[in-house]
Amino acid sequence: MEIYENATAGLISKKLLEINAIKLSPNQPFTWASGWKSPIYCDNRLSLSYPDVRKLVQENLVKAIQKHFLNIEAVAGVATAGIPQGVLIADKLNLPFLYVRSKPKGHGMENMIEGKVTEGQRVVVVEDLVSTGGSSLKAVNDLKNAGFEVLGMVAIFTYGFDIALQNFKKENVKLICLSDYASLLPQALGDGYISDNDMATLAQWRENPAEWGK
Given a contact cutoff of 8 angstroms between Cβ atoms, the answer to whether 16 and 40 are in contact is no
> In sequence order, what are the residues at sequence separation of 6 or more whose Cβ sits closer than 8 angstroms to the Cβ of residue 94?
none
Question: Is 129 within any annotated ligand binding site?
Answer: yes
Question: Is 92 within any annotated ligand binding site?
Answer: no
CA distance 154 to 140: 12
In the DSSP assignment, the letter for residue 26 is S
Question: Is 135 within any annotated ligand binding site?
Answer: yes
Question: Is 152 within any annotated ligand binding site?
Answer: no
Q: How far is CA 176 from CA 61, 120, 138, 179, 198, in A?
A: 9, 22, 17, 9, 28
Question: Is 56 within any annotated ligand binding site?
Answer: no
Question: Is 105 within any annotated ligand binding site?
Answer: yes
Question: Is 140 within any annotated ligand binding site?
Answer: no
Question: Is 31 within any annotated ligand binding site?
Answer: no
Question: Is 131 within any annotated ligand binding site?
Answer: yes
3-state secondary structure 133-151: CHHHHHHHHHHHHCCCEEE
Question: Is 80 within any annotated ligand binding site?
Answer: no
Question: Is 45 within any annotated ligand binding site?
Answer: no
Reduced to 3 states, what is the DSSP secondary structure of residue 196? helix
Question: Is 107 within any annotated ligand binding site?
Answer: yes
Binding residues for 5-phospho-alpha-D-ribose 1-diphosphate: 101, 105, 107, 127-135
Binding residues for orotate: 131
Binding residues: 101, 105, 107, 127-135
